[in-house]
Amino acid sequence: MRAGTFEAGANSSTGGSFGETGRAGPQGTGGGGTTSDQTAAGGRDPRVTEYPMPPAAGTSAYSISDPYGITEGPDGNFWFTERLGGKIGRITLSGTITEFPLANPGCQPSGISVGTYSFLWFTEESGNRIGGIALDGSLIEVAIPTSNSSPLGIVGGPSGDIWFTERNSSKIGNLQGAAAVIEFPLPTAGSTPTGIVFGPDGDPWFTEFDGNKIGTLTTTGAVREFSVPTKASQPMNIVVGRDSNLWFTEYGGNKIGRITAAGKFTEFAVPTSNACPKAIAAGQDGNLWFTEWGGQKIGRITPTGTVTEFSLDSVPEGIASGSDAVWFTEPDAGRIGRISL
């Protein structure tokens, strides 16, 4: 597939003092710590750098292609999905963006993860397929047996296979060898599984947005579910922290949650009201970083529960960790952003 490359100029935010505006303690069981809210005055935080998406074809205007999920690739660059653009994008550490159009522009590529054979794998939410892209832009696609399953989250497993969530069908899917898809129905009907990650126990763990649960299943399909203490918390995305616990966002509960492999929960309130925390990544600095869809901020939480927030002037969506920065997507502004660790 033909790719287009665009070298963007970085938009770096200018200074601004930090001021502590709120403080809250953790909620739920287990330990905790205080939570602080630090935001920059006058818009974007000074540690944020942003790169605009390439112009739409035949124009000088930046394309609002809805950059969504993002992950670090095996080549050290960051790869992301463009839901409205029907493309997979790649951004170098210096900000050069290359786009790879997909066969179906309306397939809505969403989640993305590193997988086997130096491929990156992604979900096609409307296309009802799992796609794979090689570093040279070569593409493959595999159909999901259940129609209108709305695949969303995706993760590469330790044995080389791919696991993903089916939001509409309340199933977990497993792609083996880029050919066959096996599906595992969840016990809770209408649970809306969204995020997925491999836990420290070697099994996939996932969030159930409408079921208000964190689930896990063995690679043979045995499922366990744990109810989140906060009602209607809408757990959305999940990641393994450097403390070997699982951390997740509570979109409706406005909290960051932590669960041990044994099922013990701790919840930490996000200082900004209606922040709608969405995506989450484990930083190389040992902290967890997350996007605030409603708060227009990037949040950072330490393993003991201290939260710091960094202001943006747009809505962030996906987030991924690099060696010296976290990278995130900004769908409404058509940008890829980074914040130094």
Q: Which helix (H) or strand (E) holds 183?
A: strand 180-185
- Cβ atoms of 24 and 269 within 8 Å: the answer is yes
User: Which value, in Å, is the radius of gyration of the alpha carbons in the chain?
Assistant: 19
Could you please report the per-residue DSSP string of 223-274? EEEEE-SSTT--EEEEEE-TTS-EEEEETTTTEEEEE-TT--EEEEE-SSTT
Tokens for 143, please give them.
Answer: 């159909």
pLDDT in tens, 188-198: 999 999 999 99
Cα–Cα distance, 28 to 26 (Å, whole number): 7
pLDDT in tens, 232-270: 999 999 999 999 999 999 999 999 999 999 999 999 999
Q: Say which CATH number the domain at 132 has.
A: 2.130.10.10
- Cβ atoms of 195 and 207 within 8 Å: the answer is yes
Cα–Cα distance, 207 to 255 (Å, whole number): 14
Sheet with 288-292, strands from edge to edge, namely: 277-282, 288-292, 297-301, 307-311
Cα–Cα distance, 62 to 213 (Å, whole number): 39
Tell me the pLDDT of the chain (341 aa) as tens digits: 446 655 555 543 322 222 222 223 333 333 333 333 344 444 778 889 999 998 876 665 566 799 999 999 999 999 999 999 999 999 999 999 999 999 999 999 999 999 876 799 999 999 999 999 999 999 999 999 999 999 999 999 888 889 999 999 999 999 987 778 999 999 999 999 999 999 999 999 999 999 999 999 997 889 999 999 999 999 999 999 999 999 999 999 999 999 999 999 999 999 999 999 999 999 999 999 999 999 999 999 999 999 999 999 999 999 999 999 999 999 999 999 999 98
Question: For position 6, what pLDDT does the model report?
Answer: 52
Question: For position 23, what pLDDT does the model report?
Answer: 27
- Give the phi and the psi of residue 303 in degrees, each rounded to 5: -60, -20
Cα–Cα distance, 216 to 213 (Å, whole number): 10
Buried b (16+ CB within 10 A) or exposed e, 106-119: ebbbbbbbebbeeb
- Cβ atoms of 207 and 238 within 8 Å: the answer is yes
- Give the phi and the psi of residue 304 in degrees, each rounded to 5: -95, 0
Q: What's the one-letter identity of residue 77?
A: N
193 beta partners: 208
Tokens for 87, please give them.
Answer: 């493309």
Cα–Cα distance, 166 to 178 (Å, whole number): 17
CB count within 10 Å of CB 168 equals 17
Which residue's structure tokens are 């935010």?
13
Question: For position 64, what pLDDT does the model report?
Answer: 73
Helix (H, G, I), strand (E, B) or coil at 176: strand
Question: For position 22, what pLDDT does the model report?
Answer: 29
Dihedral (Cα; 309, 310, 315, 317), 10-degree rounding: -70
The domain tally of the chain equals: 1
Q: What's the one-letter identity of residue 72?
A: E
Question: For position 176, what pLDDT does the model report?
Answer: 83
Helix (H, G, I), strand (E, B) or coil at 338: strand
Question: For position 184, what pLDDT does the model report?
Answer: 96
Cα–Cα distance, 291 to 210 (Å, whole number): 20
Domain that holds residue 133: 4-340
